[in-house]
Structure 1
């Protein structure tokens, strides 16, 4: 009996010593769903920027490291991908795109290359008109801004009327800010010599006759035309949305910010997300302008109802405000005047769509709701206006506030560079004019070659500690969302295609690591997704791509030739489809 009691006491002591340790000891980790091994894996950020392998469970990274370390999570049902040394990296995050428009135009529009001559544009319109059904509109893109003076004439309008064979025609430019319409389209919209310029828009007229030439600058000017175009059908919209996802995945994009989302666009994204599911992270920028459908909500009214559209992969978290237009149309606001011309004289700076007081009130309302705003500002005058207004909002609502974006931030005064960081503002930059392009040539025609050459001070922004994020602006500027063109342009400041020679402000080039960070983690942070994606780190969504070449082992001028072999979103392969 005594021995039994002693044994019980001894067991109790042992249990008291070991039970807490046993309870605290970690359980054996569950096997991974997926292991990717034996690769050159560029993580962008983490304990190391390079790894051999990583493991994924329930759509998230659970281990990143060596083959041996990660291999411990293999189980009988774990899928293993052997990269055989290939490069993998986080999926691309595109901070500025119009994916629904881009895909819709690819599928249904009368498209032509942005470097087309006027004769080539007219030939393409004639071809589309010949195949159109009675009553159809010919809607297409994208004419070059270098043609602006050439098409703004009665002779060009007459030529467009002949090519259209009686169909109404509406063609957009490469910047998305201007339209060219024929006489039939203007007739249906009720646009005549008596029509007056709406606020924020210009109906260009012939100086001799006073008649509209068919050229319309900025959205308010061509809104009446857009409202006459037959609305896109639901079936076509859904087909375009699915095509957009496939196109973006195919070039390695796993996160995108729709830079201008009307309520009808939100409905399409929401329907797709709640049905088959979006194959990427989608951040929407809610329109603050009236749409083609007068019944649609916009601005604060839409923002206050945005939760009804939120889904597993759709975040209606931003708003979009246009401060100005584009330099080639002289609708961007500059601190120094444009080159003299007959229409504007010698001291024209351009004009913003808002006074500072108006902008402060609008921004403060969104900021108070916790909604960041993407502010379109291409001239250094409108960039300064944006920063001045945000500074006032910070005083009113407090720091840090919502992280607003200035898009495209093309031209920035030196004294305004550090203000981006001081005010917590992201610089949203687009690749269409990082290197010599037609838009750049058209800009030089408006402000002069010397000023036009000093565009996108990327290196200065990064040295100032600014969060610089990369986007495509697809389909504006370029007919593809391919990020590798922009990434190469950041490093070389040259046209990857070689079509336009020379380098554009080569002193502002950045290294490849910086360029990749701009397009991955930086864009994710600017979009409000920095804790969710943008790097290969434990806990984040398993959004990654596999490339056909190691970008760090090829000349910078070959980066644009990189091909995406596989794209994974939340640990699931979305390209190519199995």
Structure 2
């Protein structure tokens, strides 16, 4: 990822994990002495570690370790059978959590009303159960969960959310911030459990080639857990945190505000927390993403949780503290409102403030692409829906084929000079982090597995040389670590991965099947899928 030296034969790394030299094996012999360890990879392909710009660490690892799986393509009957099996096999007391149901099941739940909840009650017994919608912006729960959360006939809808009811009875569907009424009733992990979860997450990240990540909505407890790992020398990934100072229109706790003020002291040497998170709109599948034109067939423009003045005030205040803001904005109306607010912030606070991010930005007016470049707004591209898959087809059905044909104009944005960084949004659409499937989709705009036919906006496909920075140096720079990681050059951290194939020597489709053989963080091997004999 160094344009001045795109390819090299060898690397020299010092005992502190910094790169001393990049070049030919012969040139680097000057660094070799009696204490040097020499590693011959026999011509294997090495590149910087993947830096995921947007994911949800604790939620993702909790669901990965403790939930029961649901395929987003499952119908409701299939999901009920999964619920029965989970209730029977997980005999311990407590909550059942499933993830994640998709549009087919949601369509039945919406049409059946309370009857769907009664069927869920029968399958789950008297155990409280919560299942997340694939977007993570909706959930479906049983009566036991509603009781645990204290939701009854008179319970008002929270700001920015809805408890779906039919003739006054809660159907079990929760939209947007109404989910917090139930999730807040689920016991939080203890501090010790959080450290164990953070450790497990980092180990998982290393196994898929990640040496850096940005958590998209971080809490004080999460930062304490990662600081404990860092202090113990166990944090093998650069860890960026986006502070949850506001969720929709509901200001978070005083503890979060104090975390923002003390962020530099809280972070260990491999941590950074220079960004905050704001939710502005919802998601297309629930018709809560804020659109300029109404949703076809049903009307409505979606929702925005902050007025223009409120959004400006929030971003301006954080900007003055040197804090970049990651704004969840999917619909074109929401994206335009963010850019309007940032333009006003630049006029008031100056052009040299921190970079702000638009998370998702899936629906984007052509005229706003140039504004993103002008205002130094980073396009946080996630989840990877730029190729045909179950979620993109569901969005297309909701918004219409013509409107969806214009989403994810990645090549156009690159050519306009917009800074972009890729994230997985784990765990929302896909249960596993797969950078290679996402990469192949960038190059072809096709489903690499060929499970779904068709190609989405092929004119927006990009090249491998264009795509790799979006997964390495761009995210590192976007979170404020660009001088430490993301490239393999002198002075940088030796964060690198060894792959089972040369990405430049195989077809785009074959890239999707890439496996990580080894992961190095600061020159130290932190993952290996091969034995010493290999």
Paired residue total: 525
Alignment correspondent of 2:139: 179
Change (3 A) 1:134 1:538: closer
1:359 and 2:318 equivalent? Answer: no
* 1:268 aligns with one of 225, 238, 256: 225
Aligned twin of 1:304: 261
Partner residue, 1:530: 482
Equivalent residue for 2:85, pick from 127, 146, 150 = 127
Please name the residue that 1:15 is paired with.
none
Residue in structure 1 matched with residue 339 of structure 2 by the alignment: 387
Mapped to 2, the partners of 1:537 and 1:431 lie a distance apart of 29
User: Is this contact kept in 1: 2:13–2:494, CA < 8 A?
Assistant: yes
Report what 2:453 is aligned to: 501
* Offset, 1:528: 1.2
| Aligned residue number for residue 84 of structure 1 | 42
Kindly provide the CA deviation profile for residues 286-334 of structure 1, in whole angstroms up to 9, marking residues without a partner as x.
112469xx99546544311323421011112211111111101011101
Q: Distance in 2 between matches of 1:132 and 1:89?
A: 42
Range with bigger deviation, 221-230 or 363-372: 221-230
| Shift, 1:134, TM fit | 6.0
Give the structure 2 partner of residue 539 of structure 1. 491
Measure, in 2, the Cα distance between the counterparts of 1:116 and 1:420: 38
CA contact (8 A) 1:286 1:298 kept: no
Q: Say which of 9, 12, 15 aligns to 1:55.
A: 12
Identify if the C-alpha distance between structure 1 residues 284 and 469 changes in structure 2 by more than 3 Å, giving closer, same or farther.
Answer: same
**Structure 2 counterpart SS, 1:196:** coil
* Structure 1 counterpart SS, 2:19: strand
Larger Rg: 1
Corresponding position: 1:205 with 2:165: yes
For residue 101 of structure 2, the aligned residue among 136, 140, 143 is: 143
User: Which segment drifts farther, 332-341 or 147-156?
Assistant: 147-156
Give me the whole-angstrom Cα distance separating, in 1, the residues matched to 2:399 and 2:422: 25
Q: Distance in 1 between matches of 2:257 and 2:316?
A: 11
Shift of residue 237, structure 1, vs aligned partner? 2.4
Instruction: Give CA-to-partner distance per residue, 1:391-426, whole Å, 9 cap, x none.
Output: 011111101211011111111100000111100110
Q: CA deviation at 1:52?
A: 0.8
Shift of 1:46: 4.3
**Contact 2:278/2:326 (<8 A) preserved:** yes
Taking a change above 3 Å as real, the CA distance of residues 132 and 251 of structure 1, as seen in their structure-2 partners, is closer
User: For the residues of structure 1 that align with 2:204 and 2:254, how far apart are their CA atoms?
Assistant: 29
RMSD, matched Cα? 1.8
1:489 paired with 2:420, answer no
Give the structure 2 partner of residue 398 of structure 1.
Answer: 350
Could you say which residue in structure 1 is the equivalent of 2:181?
224
| CA-to-aligned-CA distance 1:45-83 (integer Å, 9 cap, x gap) | 142201111111121111111111112211111111112
> 2: distance between equivalents of 1:278 and 1:363?
31
Match of 1:426 among 366, 378, 390: 378
The unaligned stretches of length 5 or more in structure 1 are: 1-43
Residue pairs, 1:106-125, within 5 angstroms: 106-125=64-83
Q: Deviations over 1:158-198 (max 9, x none)?
A: 11111111111111111111111111111222222333322
Q: Runs of 4 or more off by more than 4 Å in structure 1? A: none
Distance in 2, matches of 1:265 and 1:145, equals 32
Work out whether residues 521 and 535 of structure 1, in 8 Å CA contact, stay in contact via their aligned partners in 2: yes
Whole-angstrom CA distance in 1 between matches of 2:51 and 2:277: 18
Q: SS of the counterpart of 1:427? A: strand
SS state at 1:80 partner: coil
The whole-number CA distance in structure 1 between the counterparts of 2:230 and 2:81 is 40
3-state SS in 2 of match to 1:443? helix
Deviation at 1:146, TM superposition (A): 4.0
Rounded to whole Å, the distance in 2 between the matches of 1:386 and 1:370 is 18
Deviates more, 1:522-531 or 1:141-150: 141-150
The equivalent residue for 1:65 is 23
Whole-Å Cα distance in 1 between the matches of residues 326 and 224 of structure 2? 20
Alignment of 1:151-162 (within 5 A): 151-152=109-110, 153-162=113-122
For residues 71-128 of structure 1, what are the alpha-carbon distances to aligned partners after superposition, in whole Å with 9 as ceiling and x for unaligned?
A: 2211111111112111111111110111222222121112222222211211111111
Find the residue that maps to 2:156 and give its secondary structure. coil
TM-score (norm 1): 0.88
Conserved in 2, the CA contact under 8 Å of 1:323 and 1:382?
A: yes
Alignment match of 2:413 (pick from 450, 454, 461): 461
Is the alpha carbon distance of 1:49 and 1:359 closer, same or farther for their aligned partners in structure 2, counting shifts above 3 Å? Answer: same
Give, in whole Å, the separation in 2 of the partners of 1:70 and 1:275: 33
Structure 2: stretches of 5+ with no match in the other structure: none
Greater shift in the superposed pair: 469-478 or 185-194: 185-194
Return the alpha-carbon distance in structure 2 between the equivalents of residues 465 and 150 of structure 1: 44
Asked if 2 retains the 8 angstrom alpha-carbon contact of 1:104 and 1:237, the reply is no
Q: Kindly indicate whether the alpha-carbon contact (under 8 Å) linking 1:426 and 1:468 is maintained by their aligned counterparts in 2.
A: yes
Out of 433, 437, 440, the position equivalent to 2:392 is: 440
Provide the rounded CA distance (Å) in 2 between the counterparts of 1:146 and 1:403: 39
